[in-house]
Structure 1
Amino acid sequence: MNLSSISSHIPSTQPQWVKRFARLGLVAKGVVYCLVGILAFMAAFEIGGSTERNVNKQGVFRFILDQPFGQILLALVAVGLVCYALWRLTQAFLDNEHKGTDAKGIGRRVGYAFSGLVYGFLAYGSFRMVLGSRGSQGGGNSRQTLVREILQKPYGQWLVGLIGLCIIGIGLYQIYRAWSGKYLKNVQTSSIKTELKEMIIRSGKIGYIARGIVWGLIGYLFIKAAMESNASEVGGSSSAFAFLEKVSYGSFLLGAVALGLFCYGIYMFVRARYEVINTNS
């Protein structure tokens, strides 16, 4: 993939356009993660009849839709997710972050592109709900269908296992970003009020660790599916939450992770306010 040649055919970005999209996108992402955290916490302690099986981003969209003026609220979130997706794709193809074209830089830009596609897909799903489709639990089913097809191929188990290891690697990288402080790299912490700075920094660290744990559990489920040659073992965040719920002190573990994801959502609001958005390609 030659990202440089692709970017040469894309018009130059308008700085304010990029900044506004980035900030709106981060706010929308923050809303989604805060709600995921709240719903997961409710599921952990069986508050309001919530179950971990329904706690995923599609479940969040359904929750928003069920609120007063739900269609308007969900439409606003969907627009924000589109903004986030476009910002990530801009980073990937126009290299606003100046990652370059060496192996490391290409890897980061491919990661931006992947993130953009994922959130673009989420935005599409949320717009469908706004227009009348209630959606379904199909995210896990489509994932399992794909894995089932891979398992039927030669070396399919190895490939599914490799996917699981890559997902675990993403989770470990999230935790590494938390412990190393790299999650603060582009955030102007000097502009944050002193009395709030420590709390915000801590919330970001906890949030990235919680997100890393969820990624790691999802990767483990892929490896388990590969080892047992059973696609039904594969799942997303709701399956990761269900796995946590089943272990000893599962409700408390799930509750802790839920609070961490809520912290991650709060930190997205901080990024929306204080992050330096690079716009020059």
Structure 2
Amino acid sequence: MVNGLGRKASELKHQGDRLGAKALHHPWMVPLARLGYLAKGVVYAVIGVLALQVAFGSGGKTTDTKGALATLAQGSWSKALLAVVAVGLVGYVLWRVVQAWMDPDGKGTGAKGLLLRGFYLVSAAIHTFLALAAFRLVLGAGGAGTSGDQSAQSWTARLMSQPFGQALVAVVGLVIAGLGVWQAYKAWKEKFRKKLRLDTLRPQQAEWAVRISKLGILARGLVFVMIGGFLVQAALTANPRRARGLDGALETLAAQPHGTVLLAVAAAGLVAYAVYMAVEARYRRFLGA
């Protein structure tokens, strides 16, 4: 019976690989996925640059992904860029769904593989709302909505009002923090390299691409750890106002001793993450592409 289950799992995996290859052979799939990575990079570049401006006292603001979209919406040419970003975010959503459903990366049906594929679906849902916000801004219908802090505090309060709400908030916080730790570990061990075709670059160029990508993934991971920690604090104190979004995490860094330096480092890391997204857009390996 065990052998039969093993064969069944193997058959399902091969079937998923075939479906994934079929999806990726669609003429629009890979270009949309690449545009999606690039669009995500643009969003993080805006967040990082605005935070750098705050750190160096030249204006700017700490903001989150929706705030970055609102910044892009300012000006007629900016709206044209925002429209491209919105389409790119749709491409990113589609790619995440393909990753989760068809498993083109071969994550498998084991516990770890299913967990990663589940994360892809969560990522698809998050970026769906972000894409909708972008399209609303392009059409002049608003869409930036509340700040990251306000949004985090709002859904934290709603979740706390449910049975075992504090425990649920704590679990969400631990999951987000755990995801941040995993990203930091992935960056430290350079596990992202196997997804990239860097052999077309000169060795020195490839090494710099890896270094910047490593810094970017590490910075984003540490920000996730902070956001998760704030949620755990909110759960332990039964105070939703302790919850923070990306903008709040950056503001907290700025408020610390030597906060200007901490904010500048974090902001530079987010810009580096944007560069990593651009590298992934150009050099990512796709099954059958």
Is TM-score (shorter-chain normalized) higher than 0.5? yes
Which residue number in structure 2 is paired with residue 228 of structure 1? 237
Cα distance in 1 between the residues matched to 2:170 and 2:232: 5
Shift of 1:159: 1.6
Q: Which amino acid aligns with 2:65?
A: K
Give unpaired runs (5+ residues) of structure 2.
1-11
Aligned with residue 97 of structure 2, among 89, 94, 110:
89
- Residue by residue, what CA displacement relative to the aligned partner does 1:180-230 show, whole Å, maximum 9, x if unpaired? 110112101211222312211110110011001110110011011111111
Q: Which amino acid aligns with 1:182?
A: K
Q: Which amino acid aligns with 2:44?
A: Y
Shift of 1:17: 2.5
Which residue number in structure 1 is paired with residue 61 of structure 2? 51
Cα distance in 1 between the residues matched to 2:264 and 2:200: 32
| Aligned residue pair count | 274
Contact 2:148 2:246 (C-alpha < 8 Å) held by counterparts: no
Which residue number in structure 1 is paired with residue 82 of structure 2? 74
Q: TM-score, normalized by length of structure 2?
A: 0.88
Indicate the larger mover: 101-110 or 137-146: 137-146
Which residue number in structure 1 is paired with residue 273 of structure 2? 264
Which residue number in structure 2 is paired with residue 29 of structure 1? 40
Cα distance in 1 between the residues matched to 2:265 and 2:81: 28
Percent pairwise identity:
37
Q: How does 1:189-228 map to 2 (within 5 A)?
A: 189-228=198-237
Contact 2:216 2:269 (C-alpha < 8 Å) held by counterparts: yes
Which residue number in structure 1 is paired with residue 4 of structure 2? none
Cα distance in 1 between the residues matched to 2:222 and 2:194: 21
Give unpaired runs (5+ residues) of structure 1.
none
State the secondary structure of the residue aligned to 2:251. Answer: helix
Aligned with residue 155 of structure 2, among 143, 146, 159:
146
- Which fold has the larger relative contact order, with Cα–Cα distance below 8 Å and residues 6 or more apart in sequence? 1
Contact 1:64 1:70 (C-alpha < 8 Å) held by counterparts: yes
Cα distance in 1 between the residues matched to 2:256 and 2:148: 24
Which residue number in structure 1 is paired with residue 136 of structure 2? 128
Cα distance in 2 between the residues matched to 1:159 and 1:136: 25
Contact 1:99 1:105 (C-alpha < 8 Å) held by counterparts: yes
- Residue by residue, what CA displacement relative to the aligned partner does 1:39-86 show, whole Å, maximum 9, x if unpaired? 1111223312x232xx11122112111144122111110000110110
Which residue number in structure 1 is paired with residue 49 of structure 2? 38
Cα distance in 2 between the residues matched to 1:94 and 1:126: 27
Contact 1:13 1:279 (C-alpha < 8 Å) held by counterparts: no
Q: TM-score, normalized by length of structure 1?
A: 0.91
Which residue number in structure 1 is paired with residue 9 of structure 2? none
Contact 2:64 2:147 (C-alpha < 8 Å) held by counterparts: no
Contact 1:96 1:279 (C-alpha < 8 Å) held by counterparts: no
Shift of 1:19: 1.2
State the secondary structure of the residue aligned to 1:97. Answer: coil
Q: Structure 1 residues 241, 13: CA separation in 2 closer, same or farther (over 3 Å shift)? A: same
- List 4+ stretches of structure 1 deviating above 3 A: none
Cα distance in 2 between the residues matched to 1:81 and 1:87: 10
Q: Structure 1 residues 133, 183: CA separation in 2 closer, same or farther (over 3 Å shift)? A: same
1:107 aligns with 2:115: yes
Q: Which amino acid aligns with 1:237?
A: L
- Residue by residue, what CA displacement relative to the aligned partner does 1:132-191 show, whole Å, maximum 9, x if unpaired? 123332544333222112222332222211111111101000100011110112101211
